[in-house]
């Protein structure tokens, strides 16, 4: 398990999660309403919400225990901001 969580993997996962929520925001902003986009949005939003919180915790624990890399820190900051905005949109 420890070999699966590396700087590179954590950075890629964080950027994918942030990119998904930016894409969802852009789809809503430009009011693109296609059935296929709606299906994928409905299927993926809850797993990405859960993954957002899980990988934020994993990333913080990883940064505490290991050497810090610039790309990992940036991806974790972006994930934290995205999490705050996403969770804040519920209230």
The average confidence (pLDDT) of the chain is 93
- Residue 2 lies inside a defined structural domain of this protein: no
- Residue 1 lies inside a defined structural domain of this protein: no
Mean pLDDT of 30-45: 94
- Rounded CA gap, 91 and 77, in Å? 22
Contacts 24+ apart (CB under 8 A), 67-73: 69/7, 69/11, 71/7, 71/11, 72/7, 72/10, 72/11, 72/14
- Residue 78 lies inside a defined structural domain of this protein: yes
Q: Which domain holds residue 67?
A: 7-88
- Residue 37 lies inside a defined structural domain of this protein: yes
Confidence of residue 1 (pLDDT cuts 50, 70, 90): low
Which of 21, 11, 24 is CA-nearest to residue 82? Answer: 21
Q: Is the pLDDT at 22 greater than 70, yes or no?
A: yes
For residue 2, the model assigns a pLDDT of 56
- Residue 45 lies inside a defined structural domain of this protein: yes
- Residue 56 lies inside a defined structural domain of this protein: yes
- Rounded CA gap, 86 and 91, in Å? 10
Query: The pTM is what?
Result: 0.91
- Residue 22 lies inside a defined structural domain of this protein: yes
How many structural domains does the chain have?
1
For residue 15, the model assigns a pLDDT of 97
């Amino acid at each position: 398990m420890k070999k699966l969580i590396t700087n590179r993997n954590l950075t890629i996962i964080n950027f994918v999660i942030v990119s998904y929520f930016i894409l969802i925001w852009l789809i809503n902003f430009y009011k693109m309403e296609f059935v296929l986009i709606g299906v994928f949005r409905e299927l993926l939003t809850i797993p990405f919400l859960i993954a957002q919180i899980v990988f934020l915790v994993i990333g913080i624990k990883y940064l505490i225990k290991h050497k810090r890399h610039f790309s990992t820190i940036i991806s974790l900051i972006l994930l934290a901001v995205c999490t705050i905005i996403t969770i804040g949109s519920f209230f």
